Amino acid sequence: MTLFDRAFVANPLIAILRGLEPSRALDVAGILVGAGFRIIEVPMNSPNPLTSIERIASKFGDSVVVGAGTVLTENEVVAVHGAGGQIIVAPNMNSNVAAQASALDMKWCPGVLTPTEAFAALDLGAAVLKIFPAELVSPKVISAMRAVLPKDALLAVVGGITPETMNDYRKAGADSFGLGSALFKPSYDMSELKVRSETFVTAFEKGKNL
């Protein structure tokens, strides 16, 4: 079982750290890891994202999968790999990005919104299907997509997810959630981040029994 597989089984919540400053990277990651997070994404439109990825990977890379979001080009894939990143998350589906990620043995998680896009992404080797933006997709849509997709396809619902909305999506067939501003904003101090991260993990764990 790979580190990604182990992380996904342990806790498939994805912490999206948009706007993270490298100077705070280790403190923020430490809070998240302490709460139980095992997958961390630093979007490429954050300040010096490769530095943050490198710092997090260097300290937590034995137990945490770290990578980049909003990855749009092959060159960005190469740069993330060089910084120690293991996952490539994108808002779209780009076959060149998929091929580069595969060549570097990285997990590719493209954004899709329809069954057509989902099947195309799986054909290109997607490890996880990022259902984005979730604000446009009700749990009923997830249920309908789950009914036609391969049973082993992994669905991560991303966009506007809160602790209160996760369970309806889980019941519909979502495997994972990408958590953005409801979890992290650059303006949040460490105490607020701790509360938010623990709240999400607790809500997710409780939902396993529903």
Give 67's strand partners: 41, 87
Containing domain of residue 139, as a range?
3-207
In the residue annotation, 41 being an active-site residue is answered as: yes
Q: Which of 107, 117, 130, 135 is catalytic?
A: 130
Residue 141 main-chain phi, psi, to 5 deg:
-65, -40
Could you tell me which of 64, 46, 17, 62 has the C-alpha nearest to residue 197? 17
Domain count, the chain: 1
Going edge to edge, which strands form the sheet with 65-69?
Answer: 107-109, 87-89, 65-69, 39-43, 13-16, 176-179, 155-158, 129-131, 111-112
Q: What is the pLDDT of residues 14-69, one digit of tens each?
A: 999 999 999 999 999 999 999 999 999 999 999 999 999 999 999 999 999 999 99
- Can you give the pLDDT at residue 208? 75
Report the Cα 202 to chain-centroid distance in Å.
18
Whole-number Å distance between alpha carbons of 68 and 88: 5
Instruction: Give the contacts of 13 (CB within 8 A, at least 6 positions apart).
Output: 37, 39, 176, 177, 179, 200, 201, 204
Report the Cα 128 to chain-centroid distance in Å.
9
Q: What is the CATH number of the domain that holds 15?
A: 3.20.20.70
Predicted TM-score (pTM) above 0.75? yes
Whole-number Å distance between alpha carbons of 201 and 45: 26
* % the chain with pLDDT above 90: 97
Q: What is the pLDDT of residues 82-130, one digit of tens each?
A: 999 999 999 999 999 999 999 999 999 999 999 999 999 999 999 999 9
Q: Which of 21, 41, 76, 164 is catalytic?
A: 41
- Can you give the pLDDT at residue 31? 99
